[in-house]
Amino acid sequence: MRASRRTIVMLLMATAVAGCVGGTALRSLPDREPSLRPVPNPAFDAWVEAFAGRAAAQGISRATIDRALGAAGFLPGVIERDRNQTEFTRSLEDYLAIAASDERVATGRAMLNRHAGLLSRIEARYGVDPAVVVAIWGLESRYGERRGDISVVSALATLAYDGRRGAFFEQQLVAALRILENGDIPVERMTGSWAGAMGHTQFIPTSYLAYAVDFDGDGRRDIWSEDPTDALASTAAYLARSGWQRGRPWGMEVRLPTGFDTSLAGRGTTRSVGAWNSLGVRTVGGRSVPDHGPASLLIPSGPSGPAFLIFRNFTVLTRYNNAQNYVIGVGHLADRIAGGPPLAAGFPPDAQGMTISDRRELQRRLTAAGFDTGGADGVVGPDTRAAISAYERAAGMPVTGQPSMTLLARLG
Ligand SMILES: [Ca+2]
């Protein structure tokens, strides 16, 4: 979906990071752009030398330090990405349009089938629903397609040297050296995203050290290989260690009664399901909500959008990535992969008064008129804005790059 390429980059870069850097999967930049090649930088080299001393002081062997850092280079493209990731949040509607697109749901269902045996062995050991593991896989690396091929040592060294979040990345770099020292992976195979997230489910090095498992029993915790066995089991192990409750849902879409007091919404307010039922909260099918333990209510798009009751497993997923949209994205994608329906509630119109169908129709009409939006996913990103601007210019209109119902009508 070309329409949303850059949109997606910003969308996921904006997510907060807990255990993993969510979203390589929703990033479709070519994995190795010219700017991701190392360039000479004497100040970086001096930093690396000083770091080597600090790593040795933390117990990393000289041999590992020399082998790993000998090959490390300064990657300006990594810094560029780090700088460009802030100040951009997407609405839940846009997020879900991408995260739980028909394509991602269909591939997820195929993966659930293909790896059914493995996933049920993982479930037997860790108690995590296979569809949830597959959904995380789908969001993190598009089911293994985009695991990232940037040198993790170089990326982390660049970010630690750069210093914007220097202490965090230096800690990750030391953890990466420990992984190398353990012999789980040779340095040339230790690749990942620009931010050092590795493998099928994008573990950062400290999460790897804490949670990765050798599920296939070959003596190495290999989350990088084509075979996702260790990576998927490690993801389940991570959730299990974070308190995953076997057999319980992350949350569910619910219906609120007319006049519901929306000040009760938010992760800070937790009540029993019985209390929510007494307040008139119902399943989308109109029944009492089944008791899955204490619950909070989320209405991320306001009272006219979808509402969710979330349970303990929602909080467990925040350990993986704390962004609310990410967790709802994982949960909803998992539900869809398991055969569930799309959300029952629609989303309210956006600030331009347009629904997602309006935005999709606008993209289709622009593309048909020769102004390619690169797809029609209803998510207005840079490609769609550029197409609108080009259309406005060609039509002699003021160039705004803004979608609107007027423009939609004009294109009809
Ligand atoms: Ca293994």
Q: What distance in angstroms lies between residue 212's CA and the mean position of ligand 1's atoms?
A: 10
What's the 179 CA to ligand 1 centre distance in angstroms? 14
Q: What's the gap in Å between 131 CA and the centre of ligand 1?
A: 22
- Beta-bridged to residue 310, according to DSSP, are 251, 296
Q: Cα of 221 to ligand 1 centre, how many Å? A: 5
Residues 6+ apart with CB under 8 A from 347: 91, 92, 93, 301, 305, 306, 355, 356
Mean pLDDT of the chain: 91
Q: What are phi and psi of 296, to 5 degrees?
A: -115, 160
Phi/psi of residue 275, nearest 5 degrees:
-65, -40
Average the pLDDT over each of 36-40, 120-124, 215-219, 264-268 and give the range with the smallest value: 36-40
Which tens digits make up the pLDDT trace of 165-203? Answer: 999 999 999 999 999 999 999 999 999 999 999 999 999
Rounded Cα distance, 166 and 82, in Å: 12
* Predicted local distance difference test score (pLDDT) of residue 36: 82
Distance of CA 285 to the CA centre of its chain: 30
* Of residues 18 and 130, more confidently modeled: 130
pLDDT band at 210 (very low <50, low <70, confident <90, very high): very high
Contact 137, 201 (CB under 8 A): yes
Residue 23 has pLDDT above 80, yes or no: no
The Å distance, Cα 103 to ligand 1 centre, comes to: 30
Query: How many A from CA of 229 to the centre of ligand 1?
Result: 8
Q: Give the model's confidence band at 90: pLDDT under 50 very low, under 70 low, under 90 confident, else very high.
A: confident
Distance 98 CA to ligand 1 centre (A): 32
pLDDT at 27 over 50: no
| Three-class HEC string of 322-342 | CCHHHHHHHHHHHHHHCCCCC
Torsion of CA 268, 269, 272, 273, to 10 degrees: -100
Question: How far does residue 247's CA lie from ligand 1's centre (Å)?
Answer: 27
Q: Is the domain 2-74+148-198 a CATH 1.50.10 member?
A: no
Q: DSSP alpha helices (H): ranges in 74-115?
A: 76-83, 92-99, 102-114
The encoded tokens of residue 194 equal 């620009």
Report the run of H or E that residue 298 belongs to, with start and end: strand 296-298
Measured over all CA atoms, what is the biggest interatomic distance in the chain, rounded to whole angstroms? 68
Q: In this predicted structure, what is the pLDDT of residue 71?
A: 86
> pLDDT by residue (tens digit) across 8-20?
333 333 333 334 4
Distance 217 CA to ligand 1 centre (A): 5
Query: What's the CA dihedral at 80, 86, 88, 94 to 10 degrees?
Result: 70
The pLDDT value recorded for residue 88 is 59
Cα(227) to centroid(ligand 1), Å: 10
Q: Output the pLDDT for position 86.
A: 53
DSSP label at residue 354: -
Kindly indicate the confidence band of residue 83, based on its pLDDT and cuts at 50, 70 and 90: confident
Percent of the chain with pLDDT over 90: 87
| Residue 243: band (very low, low, confident or very high) from pLDDT cuts 50, 70, 90 | very high
Domain residues of the chain, as ranges?
2-74+148-198, 356-411
Question: Which of the pair, 360 or 26, is modelled with greater confidence?
Answer: 360
pLDDT number for residue 4: 38
Does pLDDT of 2 surpass 50? no
Taking the centre of ligand 1 as the mean of its atom positions, its distance from the CA of residue 230, in whole angstroms, is 6
Q: Is the pLDDT of residue 247 over 60?
A: yes
CA atoms within 13 A on the CB side of 364: 10
Q: What is d(CA 127, CA 106) in angstroms, rounded to the nearest whole number? A: 24
In this prediction, residue 29 carries a pLDDT of: 43
Tell me the per-residue pLDDT of 269-292, one tens digit each, with 9 for 90 and over.
Answer: 999 999 999 999 999 999 999 999
- How do residues 372-411 score in pLDDT, each as one tens digit? 999 999 999 999 999 999 999 999 999 999 999 999 999 9
Confidence at residue 35, expressed as pLDDT on a 0 to 100 scale: 62
Q: Is the pLDDT of residue 44 over 50?
A: yes
- How many residues are recorded in the chain? 412
0.85 exceeded by the pTM? yes
